[in-house]
Structure 1
Amino acid sequence: MKSSIKKSDFTLNSYMKSNDLLATFQILNTLIPYVCLWVLAVKAADISIWLLPPIIILMSLFSVRSFSLMHDCGHYSLFSSKKINRCVGFLLGVVNAIPQYPWSRDHAYHHKTNGDWERYRGVADFLSTTEFAKLSSKERETYQFIRQPVMAIPGGFFYLAIAPRMALILGLYDMVRHVITERQQHPNLSISDAISTHESKHWQSRTEFWDLLFNNICVISSWILLSNWLGAGFFLSVYSLVVTLSAVVFIWVFFVQHIFEGSYAHQTAEWDYLTGAIEGSSYLELPPILKWFTADIGYHNIHHLSERIPNYHLEACHRENLHLLANVKTLRMGDMLDCAKFILWDADSNSLVSIESFLQSESATTELTPVVAMSAK
């Protein structure tokens, strides 16, 4: 159903202006404390290992904030200069061990298709009810298990620490195989020409490849240097915990921003971008301290109305347009686990449903079929 509200009804343009001074302050008040906390962790470990947990939690929260600022750089909204956004975004990508440019391209696709569940299946590649119905009992159990909230813990570590490294290794392996095959078939073909004909499933452009390569060089080099400086056991243990905890937070924040009861989840036909932004994105009401660490990304409906609005203008924009946001879903921290139920897409009703409700519907249909058959006789 198309929204009766038009985008022109919202006051957005005045909030789309970047403030370089404020953006610089945000970078400094994020990265400087993060580095200082690493120093503090080293000093605390010499006194007692039990001093580390609160420091690790704080480090994880600053890592979350740096990821949110990287996200703004990907939308070219944090700074007024596209070049500065790219440079700072790359730096923050190194901090979070993820290539910023490829991530931003994937994220841009999410923005273009939000609410169109035929083209974009959410943060965990959800199945439709029709697809789920075709699975075996074991496949259904596996599908449900790997989408349990607790799986964000190993999933978060894999997403940041392992996946970007695997993407580079597997991508280079495929490229070398392609070059060898092309050279065998065309002996006069140069290596550069053979490389130019290679299409990788791990990157979509040369820019993405170079960003992936340099990110990995910087990240792995930092791992080696810090392991030698701080001790491999200490650094890798603390770093793994920080990466995992921060990934869990932003995975869950992103999850509930689009996966909730009543979320706009339409087929491509008659899908409406504006309705996707307003009704397919939530307003996550967080305590002030968590709003700061997440860089106000909880105002996600405003962010989807215009991704060019930097984080430091989102709250003000939300307040000014509040009278137009009656259909926005408001969620609080206590609602987050309940959102984890809605992991199937029902294309017939254009909605997200729980496995439990689907199984009840499936059972009722199965029981009804023999009755209908007997009536026909």
Structure 2
Amino acid sequence: MTATSQTASETPTMAAPTTAATKTPPGAWSKILAPYREPKTARSIFEIAVTVLPLLVLWAVAWELHARGLWWAALLLTVPAAFFLVRLFMIQHDCGHGSFFRQRQANEWVGRIAGVFTITPYHYWRQSHAAHHATHGNLDRRGNLGVIETLTVEEYRALSPLRRFGYWLYRHPVVMFGVGPIYVFLISQRLPIGMMRQGWRPWASVMGNSLGALAGIGGLIWLFGLAPVLIVNVVTMLLAATIGVWLFYVQHQFDGAVWMRNGEWKRDDAALAGSSHLDLPQPLRWFTGNIGIHHVHHLSSRIPFYRLPKVLKDHPELNAMSRVGFWASFRCARLALWDEAAGRLVSFREARRTA
């Protein structure tokens, strides 16, 4: 969707709020957080084991339950299985940042193999995700792959009625968290959309991942039959995809998030004020690989997820920064437009009130 953008001189924008964390000189956080960037091989292997083994056990028990006619019990087990699959994606995510192992090839191969389970092409996703890290919170650099489209109030008002309806429908929670995960994981990531002219590597990543996933699902159907694979494995994947999209949404679409124009955008400010600290209760923090500590992740993406809580413990000034509580996070679903005059995300209803 093409939007009518405003220049920084035409519309005021909100600067990042000043806190103890934002008073740190530009670039200083890179040095402060450098000691946390070193992964521990034994710990990384342990994290893989306690994620993959329970996932496989849950699937095996669910297949057996289905074989005994207890399909409803098998379906119930897809819920914990989905959380373990989300955690496996977080391992893949860290591999994409080169933060899970010291050795590049170890990150590459673990990321590729995990991608078959999460049906996420490793190299293609890594490249699009790197673009997200380089531009998040920048109003003048929107439109990157893998980023939730966000219009300003003025851009939305400038659209035709039909395109306004299209954007409203796109941002509706049923579409965003119901249809969206299916589209992203089962359709969008089956082609290197946005990278089709970048040579053979994006194609190899996407096609290799699709072939690996098809081979895995085909093998399971051959062993157990179509019905148990649909009920156990496919449902697990869809639930995990919905959780993943929800997490990505709340990480940057929250009340208090700050977006800036090119001239004002600074990496550290965008990380601290444009990325949330989703304060999840245990065991959700564990299942989501501490990805809720997203502002710290954007400050230093090379920190392994199992070291992020240590950062908050050692630097309490980061604890309250951009914090969003678990229950409060569900209210973020109503936010759909950036109001440049007010310097905040607003709902469609709030935008109509100020028309």
State if a TM-score over 0.5 links the two structures. yes
The aligned amino acid for 1:8 is: A
User: Structure 2 counterpart of 1:118, which letter?
Assistant: D
CA offsets per residue over residues 141-168 of structure 1, 9 Å max, x none? 3322222222212211221122222x16
Q: Does the alignment pair 1:268 with 2:262?
A: yes
Return closer, same or farther for 1:316/1:358 CA change in 2, 3 Å cut-off.
same
Q: Aligned-pair distance for 1:274?
A: 0.9
CA distance in 2, matches of 1:348, 1:118: 16
Please give the TM-score of this superposition, normalised by the length of structure 1: 0.82
Name the one with the larger helix percent. 1
Deviates more, 1:64-73 or 1:4-13: 4-13
Query: Rg bigger for which structure?
Result: 1
Give the total of aligned pairs: 330
What residue is the counterpart of 1:318 in the other structure? 312
Q: Hey, what does 2:88 align to over in structure 1?
A: 66
More divergent stretch after superposition (61-70 vs 338-347): 338-347
Structure 2 matches for 1:15-54, cutoff 5 A?
A: 15-47=36-68, 48-54=70-76
- SS of the residue 1:295 aligns to: coil
Q: Would you say the 8 A contact 1:127–1:345 is kept in 2?
A: yes
Measured at CA, do residues 86 and 331 of structure 1 come closer, stay the same or move farther in structure 2, by a change above 3 Å?
Answer: same
Distance 1:104 1:156 in 2: 18
Q: Is the 8 A contact 1:56 1:242 kept in 2?
A: yes
Q: What pairs up with 1:138-287 in 2 under 5 angstroms? A: 138-151=162-175, 152-165=177-190, 167=191, 201-202=195-196, 204-287=198-281
The answer on whether the counterparts of 2:36 and 2:303 sit within 8 Å (CA) in structure 1 is: yes
1:95–1:324 distance in 2 versus 1, CA, 3 Å: closer
Residues 248-304 of structure 1, C-alpha deviation per residue, up to 9 Å, x if partnerless? Answer: 111111111111112111111221111101111111111111111101111111101
Q: Displacement of 1:139 after TM fit? A: 3.1
Shift of 1:343: 1.2
SS of the residue corresponding to residue 353 of structure 1 reads strand
Percent of aligned pairs with the same residue?
30
Q: Distance in 1 between matches of 2:317 and 2:228?
A: 52
8 A Cα contact 1:160 1:243, kept in partner: no
Could you tell me how far apart the structure 2 residues matched to 1:53 and 1:314 are? 33
How many angstroms does 1:26 deviate by? Answer: 0.9
| Partner deviation per Cα, 1:152-186 (whole Å, 9 max, x = no partner) | 12211221122222x16xx8xxxxxxxxxxxxxxx
Output the CA distance in 1 between the equivalents of 2:189 and 2:165: 28
Please list the CA deviations of residues 47-101 of structure 1 after superposition, one character each: whole Å capped at 9, or x if unmatched. Answer: 3122123311011111100111110000000111111101000011111111011
Q: CA deviation at 1:309?
A: 0.4
Q: Deviations over 1:172-216 (max 9, x none)?
A: xxxxxxxxxxxxxxxxxxxxxxxxxxxx74363433222222111
| Mapped partners of 1:310, 1:16: distance in 2 | 7
1:56-95 pair list within 5 angstroms: 56-95=78-117
Q: For residues 296 and 266 of structure 1, what CA distance do their matches in structure 2 show? A: 26
Give the CA deviation at 1:350. Answer: 4.2
Task: Evaluate the alpha carbon distance shift between residue 338 and residue 219 of structure 1 in structure 2; reply closer, same or farther with a 3 A threshold.
Answer: same
Determine if contact 2:94/2:304 at 8 Å carries over to the other structure: yes
**Which of 23, 35, 38 is the equivalent residue of 1:4?**
23
Contact in 2 for aligned 1:124/1:147 (Cα 8 Å):
no
Give unpaired runs (5+ residues) of structure 1: 172-199, 363-377
In the alignment, is the contact (CA less than 8 A) between 1:153 and 1:245 conserved in 2?
A: no
- State the partner residue of 2:4: none
Distance 1:99 1:218, change over 3 A: same
Q: What CA distance in whole angstroms lies between the structure 1 residues aligned with 2:148 and 2:288? A: 21
C-alpha distance in structure 2 between counterparts of 1:33 and 1:339, whole Å: 32
Which stretch of the first structure deviates more once superposed, 11-20 or 204-213? 204-213
Query: Please, what is the CA RMSD of the aligned residues?
Result: 2.0
**How far apart, in 2, do the equivalents of 1:287 and 1:324 lie?**
18
Match of 2:327 among 334, 348, 364: 334
